[in-house]
Amino acid sequence: MKKATFGSSLILIALVGTGSAYAAASSCLDCHGNIETMKSMVSMPVASSAEGEG
């Protein structure tokens, strides 16, 4: 009985806790779901040789 109650409690907490993330006006998916926005936030590394390399 305790395992069932504990498991039900965990599921309820998980469902209630994630609900607010999707209801937010500005969510993570706005930026992380847009490829062009992600590309604009990260600069490409410059490929150059260093002294003593190889």
10-residue mean pLDDT series, the chain (54 residues)? 75 67 66 85 78 66
Q: Residue 1 burial (CB < 10 Å; 0-12/13-18/19+)?
A: exposed
CA–CA separation, 26 and 18 (whole Å): 15
CA distance 31 to 17: 21
Q: What per-residue confidence (pLDDT) applies to 25?
A: 63
Tell me, what's the pLDDT at 34?
86
Q: What is the pLDDT of residue 53?
A: 65
pLDDT of residue 20: 53
pTM, full prediction: 0.33
